[in-house]
């Protein structure tokens, strides 16, 4: 009987961690927001990471302050010229950052280098698979927010199987699932393009080949003007504390 009660208590704890009944927010929601346009239009990745550090735990905020520069532009330039200029571990004979921006795997490496020496947990790149529904993405984001690191989300717009454009944003908080709906959730985020705090929705659909999660971000129309015909903006990757 005693073991049964222990099992029930553990189950209740796990469920409470996976499905919060109240919003989960970044530790520091009032920090200054970095704007990628202070430097260039192709630094959304470094800007999203800088915003994550500024809005994270005390250790993450210290990592943000340690980046040389007293303006957004100076700090972003330092990231690009130092961490971004290193060779990629994932794409041979290519630097992490180029005029086309940076990929999610290299951006995760950049983030961990910025965190080094600040007693903050390392981050990992997580790419949702066809088996990953809204609840799993929701719980991963919540876990990282509680650990002090606002996740950096990679977005991609597809027209069929063709990638039209990509972008990175920073999650500031997530709201509970709507009652009776486990396929979607609302979240607050920072769009580095203009340094704006906005709200969007992740909506996951179970298709023939598995789950696909659409990002409904009307104020962040990534690649919409380039798309000729129907297109969808998907959650492509997340950089977070596992």
pLDDT at residue number 133:
83
Euclidean distance between CA atoms 43 and 102, whole angstroms: 8
E strand or H helix that includes residue 140: helix 134-146
| Assigned token pair, 78 | 């330092």
pLDDT classification of 28: cutoffs 50, 70, 90: very high
Is 80 exceeded by the pLDDT of residue 207?
Answer: no
Mean local confidence (pLDDT), 69-90: 98
* Predicted TM-score (pTM) of this structure: 0.89
Question: What is the overall mean pLDDT for the chain?
Answer: 91
Q: Are 188 and 196 in contact (CB under 8 A)?
A: no
Euclidean distance between CA atoms 67 and 52, whole angstroms: 13
Which domains does the chain show, CATH number per domain? 34-240 (3.90.70)
Write out the DSSP string of 83-126. Answer: TTTSBPSSSTT-BSEETTEE-HHHHHHHHHHHHTTTT----EEE
Euclidean distance between CA atoms 198 and 42, whole angstroms: 20
Euclidean distance between CA atoms 58 and 65, whole angstroms: 11
How far are the Cα atoms of 54, 81, 189 from residue 30, in angstroms, in the given order? 9, 28, 13
From the list 160, 140, 156, the residue with the least C-alpha distance to 214 is: 156
Signed CA dihedral, 133, 158, 185, 61: sign only:
positive
Phi, psi of 101, rounded to the nearest 5 degrees: 100, -145
Q: What is the pLDDT of residues 111-152, one digit of tens each?
A: 999 999 999 999 999 999 888 788 899 999 999 999 999 999
* Helix, strand, coil percentages in the chain from 3-state DSSP, rounded to 5: 30, 30, 40
Percent of the chain with pLDDT strictly greater than 90: 77
E strand or H helix that includes residue 63: helix 58-65
């Amino acid at each position: 009987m005693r073991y049964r009660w222990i099992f029930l208590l553990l189950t209740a704890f796990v469920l409470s961690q996976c499905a919060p009944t109240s919003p989960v927010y970044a530790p520091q929601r009032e920090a200054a927001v970095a704007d990628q346009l202070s430097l260039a239009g192709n630094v959304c990745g470094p800007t999203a990471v800088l915003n994550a550090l500024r809005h994270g735990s005390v250790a993450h905020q210290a990592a943000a302050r340690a980046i040389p520069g007293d303006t957004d532009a100076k700090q972003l330039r330092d990231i690009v010229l130092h961490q971004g200029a290193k060779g990629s571990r994932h794409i041979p004979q290519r630097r992490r950052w180029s005029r086309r921006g940076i990929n999610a795997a290299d951006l995760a490496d950049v983030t961990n280098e910025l965190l080094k020496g600040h007693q903050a947990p390392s981050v990992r790149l997580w790419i949702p698979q066809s088996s990953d529904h809204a609840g799993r993405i929701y719980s991963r984001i919540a876990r990282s927010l509680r650990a002090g690191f606002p996740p950096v989300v990679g977005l991609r717009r597809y027209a069929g199987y063709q990638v039209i454009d990509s972008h990175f944003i920073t999650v500031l908080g997530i709201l509970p699932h709507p009652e009776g709906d486990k396929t979607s959730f609302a979240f607050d985020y920072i769009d580095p393009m203009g340094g704006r705090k906005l709200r969007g929705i992740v909506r996951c659909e179970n298709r023939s080949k598995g789950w696909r999660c659409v990002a409904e971000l009307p104020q962040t129309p990534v690649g919409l003007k380039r798309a000729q015909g129907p297109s969808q903006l998907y959650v492509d990757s997340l950089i977070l504390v596992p």
